Structures are given as C-alpha cells and as structure tokens.
A and B are shown apart, each in its own frame.
Chain A
Amino acid sequence: MAAHLMRPRAGCALHGALYAATAIDGVTPLVHATPGCGVQAGLWQGVGGCGASWPTSNLSEKHIVFGGASRLREQIKNTRGVVSSEITVVLTGCPAEMIGDDVEAMAQEARDAGDEVLDLATAGFRGSAYHGYQSFLQAAVERTVAPGVTRAGLVNILGPVPHQDATWLAEIEELSRLIAGVGLIPNPIFGPFGGLSSLRATAQAELSVSLSPWSGAAVRALDDRFGIPWIESAGLPVGAAATGALLERIVAAAGEVDDAAARLFIDRERQREAYFIDRLLETLYRQGGARSFAVALPSLHAGGIVRFLSRTLGWSPAAIVVTDNPPAEHRSTLEDELPLVHYSEDDDEIAALIGSSGAEIVFGSSLERAVADRLAVPLIECAAPTRRLSLTSGFGGSRGGLTLLEAIVTASDQA
C-alpha cells in the first residue's frame, strides 16, 4: 500500500525535465498538460526564479474527454512559428498520459515536416523532478546528439539538476573552473556557457563526470553510443581535499594533460583553503570546537558536505539523511566510507531523524527550520526549498568548502 508523502522537496518529473530543458539555450520546452502543471513548476522556483515562460497546450476538460493530440499538433506548429529555437521538446503531464494522447505521432508529424521535435513522457506519476531530469538528459543524449570527432580535453559535467538543486549553476561553474584549471576544457551543457552546441558536443568529449546518481543513465548512454568513458563521483566534492582527489581521477582518465601544471593547480587550491582555515581556527574553536552535525540533503550535496565536515573540520555526524531517494544501484557509491545513511523524502520522517539526533548544527533546506529551532541550533540552508539566493556561490569544489565555512561561522556567531 502506498503511503502519503509529507511536504516533498522536489516537484514532479515534468518539472525536472522542464527545468533542464529551460537551462539549455536553443531548446524550447512545450508543456502538453493542463495550465496548472506549468504554473506549479514556476511557483516552485521560489527565490531563484526560472526566468522563463513556457509554451503549453493548456489542456482543458474538452481535451481530456476528446483527446488533446490535435491541440498539441496546433501548439507545436505555433511554438515553432513564434519561438525561435532549434529543438522543441514536448513534455507530457499526467492528464495527457492518462488519456493516452498519441504524442509520439504528433512529434513525428513535425519531424516529417523537417522540424526537430523531441517528445518525452514526463508525467508526474513517473517520479520526482530528479527522475524528470534523468529522463530528459538520457533522451537528449540518445535522440538529439550525433557522433562527431573527439575534441581533445573536453570533459562533460553532469549531475546538478537545474533549478531543483539549490546551487546547481554555481556548482557547474565551479566544476568548470576546476576542470579548466587542470588544463582541460569543461563542457557544462546547462547555463550561460552551455547551450545546444554544448549538448551536442557531449558526443565529442574525452570524458564524462557524473556528479549525482541522476546523471548516471546519461553518462552510460554516452558511453554506449559514443564510447565516452566516465567517472562517477560520490556527489559533489566539497573542500580542497575531495576536490583534489576528484581532479586527480579526472586528469588520470583524460588522456593528454600537463601533469605538473595540473598538480600545481590542485596544490594551490589546497593551499588557499588551508590559509583560510588557519585564519578561522580560533573562531571555530571559540564557537564550540568540534561539533556534532546533522544533514538532510539531496545526493548531490549530502556526501560531500558530510566528508568535508568530518574529515577537514573533524566534526561528528549525528544524522545523515539523503532526501532525493536515489536509485538503489548508486547508493553504495554515495555512502563511500560514511556512517549510517538514511534515505527519506518524507518531511515528518526527516524531522524525526534530525530531531532525535542531538545535533549541534543542521545542514538542510528551509524545511529544517522548525526542527533546528526546536533543537535551538543553527541551520545552514544548502538545499531546496530555500530563501537563500545563490547566483554564484555553491557548496561544491574548493571554493564551495569555503562558502560553507563562511555560512557556518556567520550562523554560529548569530546563534
């Protein structure tokens, strides 16, 4: 028997696919669902905003009863006429899939007429926004990317889910900086330096880096189709030590790199972090020294933040809750050398786990505010939903570790 899920932290599959498509310049998503489906996706964006409005077939009861396929045909045509983009991605919501609209036939009609139209089944009942991102990415790789000549040093960056993971763009940008730092060429796909050309270039990369379980299917598809090797990271590396380790794996896997220059770059990242931590040591001691902490975070951030706090700062985890229900086959990678990890998407269960942990500081979303207040401890918001606006500062990479330190020290001073 299915159980009720209280206050889920992610939208539905349609939302995840919609956010992902929106974050690639040159791709226009078309929502084939009721108007509310797109509105909900927009509302969920909260403080960050998606900065987009989407074409939609705006299904009403009439279309549910008689079928919405001809409405979709008209909307594909109008969208292609009004919005300039290379690829239109038709994303279906629950109503369209429940009544069995032949979406594939409508997309095929448009393809037969020479338009690049991709259709993707993203009904909410298929899963969360993370599943939507996963399906979109896999379909994009399998159906819109063609083989090409390998570009030396090009590295695909996949994993942060646009708009669903709180600091997704900052994470992609930090990873891009780091990859460029060791002498390789980052291929970010999403955001200002991504875009359709970047998506298409995934087939020409030397290596893919998968930073969360949700990009696993896409990097495997890139391997199957184009023979591109991949590295699976146990979530984002946080802090210079984990970042250095990941960069060393990337350098080792990516063919021709100036090893000495790469090593120098990695060392300088470590040196910079060490400099700041030395400066903060006394403050951290004054604020309570080694503390016990609890995290309630999605797989992108959970492992990296726990490792940074325990290995670099020497703190002790009191409760670790991964909140995005990652696929079972990726869990052992995520849990790499971590103590007991709980998996829960349910707010009541998460609050109970954190509440009974006795943690002295909590890392989570704004939903953890109540439990942190009950424990009378600081809360560091590093996951959605959050009111913390993050345009440029994420928690991944060596700079992300320092951002986390900034947040910890500031919050502890205010506490």
Chain B
Amino acid sequence: MSTNKPKHIAIYGKGGIGKSTTTSNISAALAEAGHRVIQIGCDPKSDSTTILRGGEDLPTVLDSLRDSGRPTIADVSAIGFGGVLCIEAGGPVPGVGCAGRGINAAVDLLHELKLFEEFKPDYVLYDVLGDVVCGGFAVPIRNGIAESAFVVTSSDFMAIFAANNLFKAISKYAPSGGARLGGVIANSIQTPYASALIDDFASRTGTNVVGYVPRSLTVAQSELYGQTVIEAAPTSEQADVYRQLARHIAGDHPVSIPKPLNAPALKQWAKQWGDRVFGGAAERRLVEVV
C-alpha cells in the first residue's frame, strides 16, 4: 500500500476501438506490479471492467442510486484480477434521461463515499466513452479529477476524429486546471501504414504516441474467457506490450495541451492519407466506377 497521493488517469477512446480492453490490461499490469488500482468505467454500456472480473455481473453506481437511494462502496464494486477494485458508473436506460449528467452524479457519489480515502489506491483509471458527446463525459478531465488523459485510437478515421474531439475538450479545460494529455495509444495496429498515420496525427496535434498495441488473436481469445491478456497469457508478447504501457503511465510521463485540428484541416489531412495509402490512381478508378 502506498501513502502517496493516488494518481488519477483518464483513458478515452471511440466506442469499439478497444479502450476498455486496453485500460483493463493496463490496470492488470499495474496490479501485477504490486500497485493498488481502481478502474472506473465511465461508459453507460457498463462493460469496462468485465475482463477484470471473469465476466461476472456488477451492479452499476447509477443502478444502485436508482434502486436503493444511497449505495455503499461495497454495493457497487467488485475485486477483480490482482486486487483491482472495479466500478462501473453505468447510465440510464438507452434513449432516456441524461447519461452525461449520470457520469457526473456517479463520480460525485464516489467522492462523497470517500472511495479514495478508504481504498487508498496508487492509481485510479477512468475508462471513458471517447466521443465526448457532452459536458458530462468531460467530467473526468475537468478540474480536480484526473491529472492526465490518454486517448486510444486506431488508424480508422472515425477513431482519429473522436481523438481530435477529446483534444478539443482537453485544450478547453486544461488552462483552468483540467487534465493534460499524456499521449496517444495506437491500438489494433495491423497494416504497415497504421503506425505512420497515427504518428503523423500525433505530431500535427502537438502530442506523441506512447505505445503501439498490435492487433492480436491473444486479446480476442483472452476476452472470450473473460480475462485480460496479463491474466490469460502472461508470457505472451502482447502482455509485455501492455506492461510497457503501464510502466509509462505509472512513471512521470510528460503531458501537454494538444492542438486539435479544425474540421476542414482534419478532412484535408485524412484525404492526404487516403492518397498516400491507396494512391491517386486508385481514387480515380473509384470515381470512374461510381
């Protein structure tokens, strides 16, 4: 147990891009290295911590808030792999109410319940819906919660688009004490150009890539067993990739205020990459076919 002030880190990423898998593996790697870790899922889908808990059900903070009024920490948490304390903020029924306000209410409640004083974590990881659709989803990077944020992205344009939106939110809140950007985690790397594309996006926006996670069958297989790679395949190369990421995040990593691209610049940038990857000739053929 550490007596140091816990380090709060937010990890954002577009839905389906692998941010929960990445966050859970980082939590597992930190726990394996002997740290006390809390992982808080801030996504109404409530599936952030599943692979830390063998796929078991966990009542969300908002479900408990709705049903029992004022839950205790024990009601809304479960101990997962390596002692990681798993919490899901949860959300309303899809299509009803305000999930953004829900995240806000859930984080407030965890503070009121003195979660961090009681559990005394070394690291708190917030796994947040990356589209930053409204102010509620920016709560973890606003003043006084997380010190730094990382964004998980693939080389798909929509994932980059979501990352750029997060950069906008960070550059808005950072000057008034909000989180700064720790860097970009490049995920699902499988084509030769993917790393170069993400590197280029990072350099254009004044940040850097802190890790490259290759697309891996080991991850898919581990998830089918409801486990992280750290647990299911501890000796795999993929596990070492996550351990390396965890060491970077745990260390005194540099942070910055990103410079997001505006909409036309982002489109122009994407088009240039389209030309580079597929070639101008391919594009012309596509136009002729259409």
B:48-102 near A, CB below 8 Å: 62, 65-66, 92-93, 95-99, 101-102
Q: Is A278 located at the chain interface by the 8 A CB criterion?
A: no
For B62, give its contact among A63, A65, A68 (CB under 8 Å): A65
Q: Tell me if A290 counts as interface (CB < 8 A to partner B).
A: no
Contacts of B101 in A (CB 8 A): 61, 64-65, 99
Contact B65 A62 (CB under 8 A): yes
Q: Count the A-B residue pairs with Cβ separation under 8 angstroms: how many?
A: 37
Per-residue interface assignment for chain A, residues 75 to 111, with 1 indicating a CB less than 8 Å from any chain B CB and 0 otherwise: 0000000000000000000000011100000000000
For A63, list chain B residues within 8 Å (CB). 97
> Roughly how many angstroms separate A182 CA and B102 CA in the complex, as a whole number?
62
Closest Cβ neighbor of B66 among chain A residues: A66
Interface residues of A (CB under 8 A from B): 61-69, 98-100
Residue of A whose beta carbon sits closest to that of B65? A62
Contacts of A62 in B (CB 8 A): 65-66
Most buried by B among A61, A66, A69: A66
**Taking CB as reference atom, which chain B residue is nearest A95?**
B98
A221 to B105, CA, bound (A): 44
How close is B173's CB to chain A, nearest CB, in angstroms? 20
Tell me whether A67 and B96 are in contact (CB under 8 A): yes
Inter-chain contacts of B97 with A (CB < 8 A): 63-68, 99
The 7 closest A-B pairs by CB, nearest first: A67-B96, A67-B97, A65-B102, A99-B98, A66-B97, A66-B92, A64-B101
Given A66-B97, A98-B98, the answer on whether A61 and B105 have CB atoms closer than 8 Å is yes
20 additional contacts (CB under 8 A) given A61-B105, A63-B97 = A61-B101, A64-B97, A64-B101, A65-B62, A65-B65, A65-B92, A65-B99, A65-B101, A65-B102, A66-B93, A66-B97, A66-B102, A67-B92, A67-B93, A69-B96, A98-B98, A99-B98, A99-B101, A100-B95, A100-B96
- Chain B positions within 8 Å of A67 at CB level: 92-93, 96-97
- B43 CB to closest chain A CB (Å) equals 15
Query: How long is the Cα–Cα vector from A63 to B62 in the complex, in angstroms?
Result: 12
Residues in B whose Cβ lies below 8 Å from that of A61: 101, 105
- Pull 21 A–B residue pairs with CB atoms less than 8 Å apart, ordered by A: A61-B101, A61-B105, A63-B97, A64-B97, A65-B62, A65-B65, A65-B66, A65-B92, A65-B98, A65-B105, A66-B62, A66-B66, A66-B92, A66-B93, A66-B96, A67-B92, A67-B96, A99-B98, A99-B101, A100-B95, A100-B96
**Chain B neighbourhood of A68, CB < 8 A:** 97
Q: Type the 1/0 row for B97-121, where 1 means its CB is closer than 8 Å to any CB of A.
A: 1110110010000000000000000
Shortest CB distance A195–B (Å): 38
B96 cross-chain contacts in A, Cβ below 8 A: 66-67, 69, 100
**Chain A residues in 8 Å Cβ range of B99:** 65
Q: Which residues of A contact B92 (CB under 8 A)?
A: 65-67
Cβ contacts under 8 Å, B102 to chain A: 65-66
Question: A100 vs B95: C-alpha distance in the bound complex, in angstroms?
Answer: 8
A64 to B97, CA, bound (A): 6
Q: Mark B143-156, 1 if CB is under 8 A from A, else 0.
A: 00000000000000
Q: Provide the residues of chain B in CB contact with A69, threshold 8 Å.
A: 96
Q: Using Cβ atoms and an 8 Å threshold, which residues of chain A touch B62?
A: 65-66
Which among A61, A65, A66, A98 has the highest number of chain B CB atoms within 10 Å?
A65
Closest Cβ–Cβ distance, residue A109 to chain B (whole Å): 16
- Determine how close the nearest CB of chain A comes to the CB of B101; give it in whole angstroms: 5
Nearest residue in B to A98 (C-beta to C-beta)? B98
Q: Which of B132-191 contact A (CB under 8 A)?
A: none
Q: Which of B235-281 contact A (CB under 8 A)?
A: none
A66 / chain B contacts, CB cutoff of 8 Å: 62, 66, 92-93, 96-97, 102
Point out the residues of chain B lying under 8 angstroms from A64, CB to CB.
97-98, 101
Q: Output the nearest chain B residue to A99 by Cβ-Cβ distance.
A: B98
A68–B95 CA distance with the chains assembled, in angstroms: 12
A99: chain B residues at CB < 8 Å are 97-98, 101
In the assembly, what is the distance between CA of A67 and CA of B62, in Å? 12
CA distance A61 to B104 in the complex (A): 10
CA distance A358 to B46 in the complex (A): 66
Return chain A residues, CB-CB under 8 Å to B98: 64-65, 98-99
- In this complex, the member of B66, B98, B99 whose beta carbon has the largest number of chain A beta carbons within 10 angstroms is B98
How many Å from the CB of A325 to the closest CB on chain B? 29
Q: Which of B62, B96, B101 has the most CB of A within 10 A?
A: B96
Query: How distant is the Cα of A67 from the Cα of B98 in the complex, in angstroms?
Result: 7
CB distance from A287 to the nearest CB of B (A): 57
Q: How far is the CA of A61 from the CA of B96 in the complex (A)?
A: 14
User: A375 → chain B, closest Cβ, in Å?
Assistant: 43
Question: Can you name the residue of chain A whose Cβ is closest to the Cβ of B91?
Answer: A65
* A100 vs B62: C-alpha distance when bound (angstroms): 19
- List residues of chain B with CB within 8 A of the CB of A100: 95-96
**A62 to B97 Cα, complex, angstroms:** 9
A22–B257 alpha-carbon span in the complex (Å): 53
Within the complex, the shortest CB–CB distance from A106 to chain B, in Å, comes to: 12
Distance in angstroms between the alpha carbons of A47 and B6 in the assembled complex:
56
Determine the distance from Cα of A240 to Cα of B86 in the docked complex, in whole angstroms. Answer: 78
How far apart are A71's CB and chain B's nearest CB, in angstroms?
Answer: 11
In whole Å, how far is B72's beta carbon from the nearest beta carbon of chain A? 18
Q: Distance (Å) between the CB of A151 and the closest chain B CB?
A: 47
Shortest Cβ distance from residue B109 to the other chain A in the assembled complex, whole angstroms: 10
Q: How far is the CA of A65 from the CA of B89 in the complex (A)?
A: 12
Q: How far is the CB of B279 from chain A (nearest CB, A)?
A: 43
State how many angstroms separate the Cβ of B48 from the closest Cβ of chain A: 18
Task: A68 to B97: give the CA distance in the assembly, Å.
Answer: 7
Q: Tell me the chain B residues, 192-244 only, with Cβ under 8 Å from chain A.
A: none
In whole angstroms, how far apart are the Cα atoms of A69 and B92 in the complex? 13
The residue of chain B having its C-beta at the shortest distance from the C-beta of A70 within the complex is: B96
Query: Which residues in A have their C-beta under 8 angstroms from that of B95?
Result: 100
CB of A202, distance to nearest CB on chain B (Å): 37
Tell me, rounded to whole Å, the shortest Cβ–Cβ distance linking B108 to chain A: 9
Please, how many angstroms separate the alpha-carbon atoms of A15 and B105 in the complex? 29
A66 to B63, CA, bound (A): 10
Chain B contacts of A65 at CB under 8 A?
62, 65-66, 92, 97-99, 101-102, 105
With A and B bound together, what is the CA distance between A67 and B99 in angstroms?
Answer: 10
Chain B: minimal CB distance from A98 (Å): 7
Q: How far is the CA of A64 from the CA of B135 in the complex (A)?
A: 14
Once bound together, how far apart are the Cα atoms of A62 and B95, in whole Å? 16
